[in-house]
Structures are given as structure tokens and as C-alpha cells.
Amino acid sequence: MVPGRSGHRSRSGERLLQDQNVKAVVIIPAEFGRRLYAQNTTAQVQVLVDGAEPNTANYVHGYVGAIWSGFLAARRLEQGSPIAAPVSLECATGTTPTR
């Protein structure tokens, strides 16, 4: 995870990917918890994945999807009924320039 302001976090995450220091970055904004429990809003999580290695990108995408499914199942149990998805998950896969 990359700390800092939302736009700054995204740029920092992209830099880490470009420098090939990481294969994926998960960005959870500071307001995530508040938005998660607020009515009529969504909480966003951003996942950036290095697409230079498609197998790794697919693995990360699947792993994040499994975490997301588990989170929704636990939330449904906690609330006692099915609910609309309060979190939007978007995975971005791209290639990084080589040096």
C-alpha cells in the first residue's frame, strides 16, 4: 500500500510499477471506512498491476477477486441479509516501459 493523498498514492504506485520494484499496488483511500458504511455511496479500492507478466497479472486479479468475494460474504453475514455491493473494485493492467 502506498500512503499519502489519493492522486499522490496513484502516481507513487505507478512509479513503483514502472521502476519494477513491485508487481502490484493496492490503493485504499483514507475515506474508505467512512464511505463503506455511508448510505448511497461506494467505497473505492484501486489495484494497479504490472501487465508485463500476464500470468502474474491474472494471478493478482484472481487473488483480489477472491478477497473481494470473501469480504462481501462476511458483510452479508454480519448484516443478516444480501446487500448491494458497497465497494467498487477496478483492476488496471498495463505494461511498463523497459529501461
Q: 22-80: per-residue pLDDT in tens?
A: 888 888 888 988 988 888 888 888 888 888 888 888 888 888 888 888 887 887 788 78
The answer to whether 41 and 62 have CB atoms below 8 angstroms apart is: no
Find the angle CA(37)-CA(43)-CA(49) to the nearest 5 degrees.
145
What is the model's pTM?
Answer: 0.61
